[in-house]
């Protein structure tokens, strides 16, 4: 099969630029090729690993004796109904390109998710979010191939069990069973953007943009992300390495006694989101190096592979050290947003 390659380095497939070799890589463009790739793996008795844009994972240093499948079909369609538009994106399209196309059509709902790396197919797995928007806010359904049962299935929003940077697809008993081929979102036509995040409000105010359009908001988000995040095409990284911890208001009140300027974002009820980057920076890790890896001096939330020499083991060791120091100083536990793929 022409779409299957042998002995492909994972460092060429992920933004961290880390990982051993994959015995086979199948880049499939449609459902027929997907079925063929799965059959190929099953005939050889090899495990399957599903890969998207490789932007939110840390791959083991060991070689993977199996078949890596990437869905690269990248079509998009729009269907208008009662002032709302159903947008269907194939899994292989770049997420930011998908957002750009929607904003250009003046469709509101995902403009604050501009600039997030990765593919459309990976977006539900992580329930991606930024600047007050999450994928689940506009999500309708997705199509996936059930590798175990050998058939295509549909998931609605409830089926996906979305929560903060979580979904059913990250649960251990489900992980690797489904390959997402497309997602459907419901966006609003000609609606004004909603600005929730203070940093975004401040940025727009400084630019004297009082009545932002969707494209204004997209450009603002892209500029803010550019200031805060490290370009993985220049320095290997997987974006925000840790989730922003969600704690009770009582925890923040205690912390404010020692750290009156600690930033937080109220969610609902008695829950508050504390910024992991602030905690890491104030635990002394911003800009620090550890062996061949380190913490960005631009954003403490980003662990980097500065010279392309870091191993997955070194990154995991650094993440453990950071988590330990944050807990020791603040009593707040950090959880990785990046998924560890170890092939054990």
Q: Which residues are catalytic, by number?
A: 165, 240, 337
Query: Whole-angstrom Cα distance, residue 317 to residue 214?
Result: 41
Phi-psi region of 308 (alpha: psi -120 to 50; beta: other; left: phi over 0): left
What element of type H or E holds 304?
A: strand 302-305
Calculated CA dihedral for residues 156, 160, 162, 166, nearest 10 degrees:
-150
Angle between helices 214-228 and 95-104 (to 10 degrees): 150
Between CA 119 and CA 114, with CA 116 as vertex, the angle to 5 degrees is 110
Sheet with 246-248, strands from edge to edge, namely 246-248, 271-274, 264-266
Which among 194, 2, 200, 169 has a CA at the least distance from the CA of 91?
169
Local structure of residue 160 (DSSP, 8 states): H
User: What b/e string do you get for 43-80 counting C-beta neighbours within 10 Å, with b at 16 or more?
Assistant: eeeeebbbbbbbbbbbbbbeebebbbbbbbbbeeeeee
């Amino acid at each position: 099969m022409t779409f299957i390659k042998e002995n492909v380095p994972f460092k060429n497939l992920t933004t961290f630029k880390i990982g051993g070799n994959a015995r086979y890589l199948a880049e499939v463009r449609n459902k027929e090729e997907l079925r063929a790739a799965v059959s190929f793996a099953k005939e050889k008795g090899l495990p399957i690993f599903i890969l998207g844009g490789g932007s939110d994972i840390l791959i083991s240093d060991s070689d993977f004796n199996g078949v890596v499948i990437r869905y690269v079909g990248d079509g998009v369609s729009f269907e208008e109904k009662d002032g709302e538009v159903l947008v269907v994106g194939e899994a292989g399209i770049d997420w930011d390109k998908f957002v750009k196309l929607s904003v250009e059509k003046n469709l509101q709902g995902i403009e604050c998710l501009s600039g997030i790396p990765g593919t459309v197919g990976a977006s539900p797995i992580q329930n991606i979010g930024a600047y007050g928007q999450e994928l689940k806010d506009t999500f309708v359904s997705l199509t996936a191939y059930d590798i175990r049962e050998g058939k295509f299935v549909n998931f609605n929003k409830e089926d996906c069990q979305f929560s903060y940077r979580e979904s059913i697809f990250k649960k251990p008993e489900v992980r690797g069973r489904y390959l997402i081929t497309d997602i459907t979102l419901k966006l609003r036509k000609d609606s004004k953007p909603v600005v929730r995040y203070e940093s975004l409000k401040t940025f727009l105010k400084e630019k004297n943009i009082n009545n932002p359009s969707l494209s204004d908001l997209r450009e603002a988000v892209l500029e803010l992300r550019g200031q805060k995040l490290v370009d993985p095409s220049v320095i290997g990284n997987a974006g925000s390495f840790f989730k922003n911890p969600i704690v009770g208001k009582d925890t923040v009140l205690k912390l404010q006694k020692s750290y009156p300027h600690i930033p937080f974002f109220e969610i609902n009820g008695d829950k508050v989101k504390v910024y992991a980057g602030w905690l890491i920076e104030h635990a002394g890790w911003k800009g620090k190096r550890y062996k061949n890896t380190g913490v960005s001096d631009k954003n403490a939330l980003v662990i980097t592979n500065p010279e392309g020499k870091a191993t997955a083991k070194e990154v995991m060791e650094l993440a453990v050290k950071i988590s330990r120091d944050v807990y020791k100083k603040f009593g707040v536990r950090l959880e990785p947003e990046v998924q560890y793929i170890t092939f054990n």
